[in-house]
A and B are shown apart, each in its own frame.
Chain A
Amino acid sequence: MDPSDELDAAAATRITAIPVGRSPFIANGLPQLGAQSLRVGIIGIGVVPFRPATPEYSWKEIMYEGASRAYADAGVDPREDVGSFITCAEDYWEGFGIFDEFTPDQLGAVLRPACTVTGDGIQGLAQGVMQIQAGLAEVVAVEAHSKVSDLLTYEGVVRHAMDPIWNKPLGGSPYYLAGLEMEAYLRAAKLSERDCAAVVAKNRQNAMTNERAAHGLKLDPEDVLASPPISTPLKELDVAPLADTAVVLVLAAEPRARKLSSEPVWIRGIGWSSDSPWLETRSWTNAKYAEDAAKMAYRLAKVRAPAKEIDVAEVDDKFSYKEPQHLEALGLSRKGSTAKAIREGTFGLGGTLPVNASGGSLGCGNVIEASGLHRVAEVALQLRGHAGRNQVNGARTGLAASWRGLPTATGAVAVLGVGK
């Protein structure tokens, strides 16, 4: 084909292919990492304790704080040891055009490979895993943060993500989308508002004993039910309050991970997926993105019966109903029996499958794009046995699942494990 004849617009066509087997990195002695078996470990965890506002930090300083904690935990010097840096950020959250410009200095990434992923922290984590699997880097730092307290118009920014022709002009608080989805989901899944209120009470209680949480609170489900309505059936306490943080994870290829860390937490599986961006054509009762992302992660991690094999789960709960909706999509709770499981305390700290032992977004705070990465950090701390008073005994395999929040239908899943 002569493209000069074919092209009619500024669109271009080509096929390109990659000789994976001939990659010189692999030939040069780095491990050849098979497609079906990930060999990437988390060796450093840095989480700046969540707070509703952090006036003493600039957005650069909070990133520096998170990064310093992670590098110290991993025992690495970013300027020598880290081969690639990934930041998860969106221009409008940050109040900049091209936020990528403002990332290198505070991460120790000056004159190093670094990039931005405009996505949730687990999507960024996935890019780091692939860079290591592809032999492009041995050690990768993944960063995500929230300085959402700087935003005077949080709801306005969320609304700015809605379709500018069909949805945004409808105006109002974007939380009406969550109200509609909650209504649709509760009907389909035969859950009550009280079940959602129990989720809120559980997560905020769990946050009471998590030193990283900003919104721990002793609550009765009655308090949640009595809180002012936002968009029926969604009430004020069904919504995760906002918080600031920076979260940095340091990843390493297996041999380096074993050398650098006495207790690497292995990323056994990772997956991410998006349902339709159109409100009008996506699935409202079932979190399809979580289902697809989990399928991918379980395939890589060789998980066949997730409800039995996962010991501890951190799943997105930016709204109370999202926790049960995600648990069903992830195969961690059988559709139709979720209400019963909630009432029996299955997902409580002492239950058979502790969910959001950290307190989740409801208890720790909604940290926008950092939410997923934070939950991976919480699972990793559980598997290391470093979860303090919220420790789930004997946890060997854990799962973290994220959702990018309104108005998206995008989410990601990571399956982590310790030991061989």
Chain B
Amino acid sequence: MALDSAGLTIDDVDAVVFGSAPDAFDGIHMKGENVLDGCGGVGKPYTRVYTGGGTGVFSPIAAYWHVASGMFDCVLVVNEEKMSSCQPHAQSVFGYIWDPILDRPLKPNLVWIFAMEMNRYMTVHGIRYEDIAAVAVKNKRNAVAHPCAQLADANITVDDVKNSEMMAWPVRRLDISPPSDGASALVIASEDFVRKRKVESPVWFGGVGWCIDTTMWTDRDLYFPEYLARASKMAYKQARIDRPREQIDFAEPYDPFDYKELHHMEGLLLCGKGEAPVLTRQGVTQRDGDLPTCPSGGLLGVGNPIAATMGIKVGELYWQLSGQAGKRQIPHEIHTGVTNAWGDLMQFSSVVVMRA
């Protein structure tokens, strides 16, 4: 579909980048090798990059450096996740992402540690639960207009979220995005290639950044994602953005949990620490607000096929900036968007700034 929409075929592609989260989802060692024919990688330079949940916005960054290095004109990025093969639940695969001595014997799971992070964030800033649940409501409503949406709901309310099953206090079931299957693809090409092939409505990379924090998550203050702030600064420097709140028109922060959208807005330097819930309450982050946030419906509304969320994140920047978002289109003029993904053990972020 990506090649069709660009009017290209696999023969036009010089190299392929693949992204996917743990191999254990597919139960195959070297899964990048196993799927390379499906990605069009046979007989081509093919690479899989891997930064856990951050892969969704990281593999497009890898494709960016393929082209920006001058070594390739046209690169296909394919991201895939198939979580439904894991029975009874994909969470079982996450049993192997912990330090084998310090963490694993405690049998932690992701909902527990994210509950700790959410609690820390709420406690430091005195944030009310309802202001966080409002993010889930907004995104699930936004997702109504998304053709891939798994959990869209036009009528959901904060009370629905608050009254859903308690998973690990303060996290309720509807605070979390669902496990999903999915695949997405992008074509990334040089300026020359776009001109020569007369590709319609390209959207341009403004800047890219990525950053990792220490493995020892227990040594970090979880209330603020410093690694994201650093990744953002790297991307903003390239994009010559020094006042992100004014120069960025909309955002697609990674939202596997509702508090993560707020956390990431702060890490993306789109507002001060602890201010994101206020902006949400004021309606600033609604699709027609001053800083539309997750107009796609995000992971909360569309779904969370980990690496394949590239289609919801970088994909939404493309559709919004090229005016092709249909019913999801932000009603006012936009020029610059930012997105991020979040991965590893609450320690990694990748950031992409794009411009029309």
Chain A residues proximal to chain B, CB less than 8 Å: 1-25, 33-36, 90-93, 95-98, 100-105, 109-119, 123, 126-127, 129-136, 157-158, 160-161, 163-164, 271-278, 288, 292-293, 296, 300, 404, 407-408, 410
Whole-angstrom distance between the alpha carbons of A116 and B23 in the complex?
A: 13
The smallest C-beta distance from A153 to any residue of chain B, in angstroms, reads 11
Whole-angstrom distance between the alpha carbons of A276 and B345 in the complex?
A: 34
B109 proximal to A (CB < 8 A):
no
A sample of 30 inter-chain contacts (CB < 8 A) reads A3-B147, A4-B328, A10-B181, A10-B182, A10-B183, A12-B186, A14-B322, A15-B2, A15-B199, A16-B187, A17-B203, A20-B68, A33-B70, A91-B24, A95-B96, A95-B100, A97-B22, A97-B23, A98-B345, A100-B348, A101-B347, A112-B212, A116-B51, A126-B47, A136-B65, A157-B29, A273-B46, A274-B33, A277-B42, A296-B45
Interface segment among B248-256, B263-271, B274-282, B307-315: the answer is: B307-315
Interface segment among B119-127, B129-137, B162-170, B213-221: the answer is: B213-221
B193 proximal to A (CB < 8 A):
yes
Does the CB pair A104–B58 fall under 8 Å? Answer: no
Does the CB pair A119–B47 fall under 8 Å? Answer: yes
| Contact A24 to B2, CB < 8 A, known contacts A15-B187, A97-B96, A130-B65 | no
Does the CB pair A118–B324 fall under 8 Å? Answer: no
The smallest C-beta distance from B107 to any residue of chain A, in angstroms, reads 14
CB within 8 Å of A: which B81-123 residues: 93-97, 99-100
The residues of B that contact A160 with a CB separation of less than 8 Å are 27-29
Does the CB pair B182–A3 fall under 8 Å? Answer: no
Whole-angstrom distance between the alpha carbons of A292 and B190 in the complex?
A: 23
Interface segment among B151-159, B226-234, B287-295: the answer is: B226-234
Does the CB pair B212–A18 fall under 8 Å? Answer: no
Chain B residues proximal to chain A, CB less than 8 Å: 1-2, 4-6, 8, 21-24, 27-30, 32-37, 41-52, 58, 60, 62, 64-71, 93-97, 99-100, 145-148, 180-191, 193-194, 199-205, 207-216, 226-227, 230-231, 234, 237-240, 303, 305, 308, 310-312, 314-315, 318-319, 322, 324-328, 343-345, 347-348, 354
Whole-angstrom distance between the alpha carbons of A95 and B97 in the complex?
A: 9
Whole-angstrom distance between the alpha carbons of A123 and B295 in the complex?
A: 37
The residues of B that contact A17 with a CB separation of less than 8 Å are 188-191, 193-194, 199, 202-205
Does the CB pair A90–B29 fall under 8 Å? Answer: yes
| Contact A14 to B44, CB < 8 A, known contacts A111-B230, A113-B209 | no
- Find A91's partner among B22, B213, B238, B322 (CB 8 Å cutoff): B22
The residues of A that contact B51 with a CB separation of less than 8 Å are 100, 115-116
The smallest C-beta distance from A59 to any residue of chain B, in angstroms, reads 10
The smallest C-beta distance from A235 to any residue of chain B, in angstroms, reads 26
Does the CB pair B190–A18 fall under 8 Å? Answer: yes
The smallest C-beta distance from B248 to any residue of chain A, in angstroms, reads 16
Whole-angstrom distance between the alpha carbons of A274 and B37 in the complex?
A: 9
Does the CB pair A112–B211 fall under 8 Å? Answer: yes
- Find B30's partner among A35, A92, A115, A123 (CB 8 Å cutoff): A92
| Contact A161 to B29, CB < 8 A, known contacts A20-B68, A101-B347 | yes
- Find A14's partner among B2, B41, B209, B343 (CB 8 Å cutoff): B2
Does the CB pair B184–A11 fall under 8 Å? Answer: yes
Does the CB pair B50–A116 fall under 8 Å? Answer: yes
The residues of B that contact A275 with a CB separation of less than 8 Å are 42-43
Does the CB pair A35–B71 fall under 8 Å? Answer: yes
Does the CB pair B212–A11 fall under 8 Å? Answer: no
Whole-angstrom distance between the alpha carbons of A293 and B62 in the complex?
A: 19
The residues of B that contact A126 with a CB separation of less than 8 Å are 45, 47
- Find A4's partner among B2, B145, B203 (CB 8 Å cutoff): B145
- Find A2's partner among B94, B216, B318, B324 (CB 8 Å cutoff): B324
The smallest C-beta distance from B191 to any residue of chain A, in angstroms, reads 5
The residues of A that contact B181 with a CB separation of less than 8 Å are 10
The smallest C-beta distance from B144 to any residue of chain A, in angstroms, reads 11
The residues of A that contact B191 with a CB separation of less than 8 Å are 17-22
Residue on A nearest B348 in the bound complex, by CB: A100
Does the CB pair B238–A24 fall under 8 Å? Answer: yes
The smallest C-beta distance from B307 to any residue of chain A, in angstroms, reads 11
Does the CB pair A14–B186 fall under 8 Å? Answer: yes
Residue on B nearest A7 in the bound complex, by CB: B147
Does the CB pair B23–A130 fall under 8 Å? Answer: no
Residue on B nearest A288 in the bound complex, by CB: B43
The residues of B that contact A136 with a CB separation of less than 8 Å are 65, 68, 208
The residues of A that contact B67 with a CB separation of less than 8 Å are 18, 20
Does the CB pair A410–B65 fall under 8 Å? Answer: no
Whole-angstrom distance between the alpha carbons of A130 and B186 in the complex?
A: 19
